[in-house]
Chain A
Amino acid sequence: MPSKPAGTLYRGREGMWSWVAHRITGVGIFFFLLVHVLDTALVRVSPEAYNEVIGTYKNPIVGLLEVGLVAAILFHAFNGVRLILVDFWAKGPRYQRQLMIGVGVLWVVLFVPFVIRHLSHVFGG
């Protein structure tokens, strides 16, 4: 006889995972935004201070983090539009699956060209 109740993990499939991913990407983007406003504020200090800090954005490791940031932003943006369609469009709930696929397709279509261009900037010297 089990001493504990069975696991209470809610298994809501892709609807649940998109909700989880929306939260995680949202939090990540928010903390980047705080840092990004602070680094941009250095334009009020001096051109040298700003250029030095913005220079860190150009190093390869940070360049890869930027790929992650843009991946998160693109997902959060299109998944957000999907939520809006489900909430406000009468047929939204009926086309749940298609909307979910649409998010994935849009994400790939914008992310792939970005990665190619951005990494060629970061690693192209």
Chain B
Amino acid sequence: MSDIAAPRSSSSARKLKGGGRNRSGQTNFELYSWLFMRLSGLALVILVLGHLFVNLMLGGGITALDFGFVAGKWANPLWQVWDLLMLWLAMLHGTNGLRTIVNDYAEKDQTRFWLKALLITAAIVIVVLGTLVIFTFDPCLDPNSTLSVCK
């Protein structure tokens, strides 16, 4: 019979088990991460469903999406804040979710390390890029813009 020793648990979890180490030296990172998933999840239900409703259900839905649509939305600070929050929370929530999946299924320490390095690099690139896009967006790139700031 195959022996399944500490299946799919990280090396840190194995260390914790072995010898019943004093837990006061450990951080509460996993507890905060667990709590963060629930809090950000609740916020994302509102943020993402609102985003889908406004962009896909109202007006012409997907057919109405173009540069002018984005310019019109981001002329309103509410949508800038909405999208910024959604970007950050969704990326942190998704990255943390994938971190959990990597911990569960990647068995070798090296594989886990490199997968997480790739994941975190991708997350940083996307969050920084998205944030820059929201803050440096120029609606007047469109010469036909009817927004008053471009006149």
Given the known interface contacts A5-B2, A23-B101, A50-B70, the answer about A40 and B130 at a Cβ–Cβ threshold of 8 Å is: yes
Whether a CB of chain B sits under 8 angstroms from the CB of A51 is yes
Residue among A46, A57, A80 making CB contact with B41, cutoff 8 Å: A80
Whether a CB of chain A sits under 8 angstroms from the CB of B117 is no
Interface of B is mostly: helix
Whether a CB of chain B sits under 8 angstroms from the CB of A43 is yes
Q: Report B-chain residues with C-beta under 8 Å of the C-beta of A50.
A: 66-67, 70
B contact residues, total (Cβ < 8 Å): 41
Whether a CB of chain B sits under 8 angstroms from the CB of A16 is no
Whether a CB of chain B sits under 8 angstroms from the CB of A114 is yes
A50 CB → nearest B CB, Å: 5
Tell me whether A51 and B62 are in contact (CB under 8 A): no
Whether a CB of chain B sits under 8 angstroms from the CB of A33 is yes
Q: Report Cα–Cα, A5/B130, bound state, in Å.
A: 51
Q: Report A-chain residues with C-beta under 8 Å of the C-beta of B130.
A: 37, 40-41
Q: Report Cα–Cα, A47/B137, bound state, in Å.
A: 11
Within A82-113, the residues touching B (CB, 8 Å) are 83-84, 87-88, 110, 113
Residue among A27, A34, A44, A63 making CB contact with B62, cutoff 8 Å: A63
Residue among B38, B63, B98 making CB contact with A121, cutoff 8 Å: B63
A72 CB → nearest B CB, Å: 11
Given the known interface contacts A27-B101, A40-B130, the answer about A81 and B42 at a Cβ–Cβ threshold of 8 Å is: yes
Per-residue 0/1 for B17-51: is the Cβ within 8 Å of any A Cβ (1 yes, 0 no)?
A: 00000000000000000000010011011001100
By beta carbon, the residue of chain A nearest B91 is: A33
Tell me whether A114 and B56 are in contact (CB under 8 A): yes
A94 CB → nearest B CB, Å: 20
Q: Report A-chain residues with C-beta under 8 Å of the C-beta of B1.
A: 5
A residues bordering B, Cβ < 8 Å?
5, 23, 26-27, 29-30, 33-34, 37-38, 40-41, 43-44, 46-47, 50-51, 54, 57-58, 63, 66, 70, 73-74, 77, 80-81, 83-84, 87-88, 110, 113-114, 117-118, 121-122
B residues bordering A, Cβ < 8 Å?
1-2, 38, 41-42, 44-45, 48-49, 52, 56-57, 60-63, 65-68, 70-71, 87, 90-91, 94-95, 97-98, 101, 122, 126, 129-130, 132-133, 136-138, 141-142
Lowest 3 CB-CB distances: which A-B pairs, in order? A47-B67, A30-B94, A121-B61
Q: A30-B98, A77-B45 are in contact. List 18 more A-B contacts (CB 8 A).
A: A5-B2, A30-B94, A34-B122, A37-B133, A38-B126, A43-B70, A47-B66, A58-B65, A66-B56, A70-B52, A84-B41, A110-B49, A113-B57, A114-B52, A118-B56, A118-B62, A121-B56, A121-B62
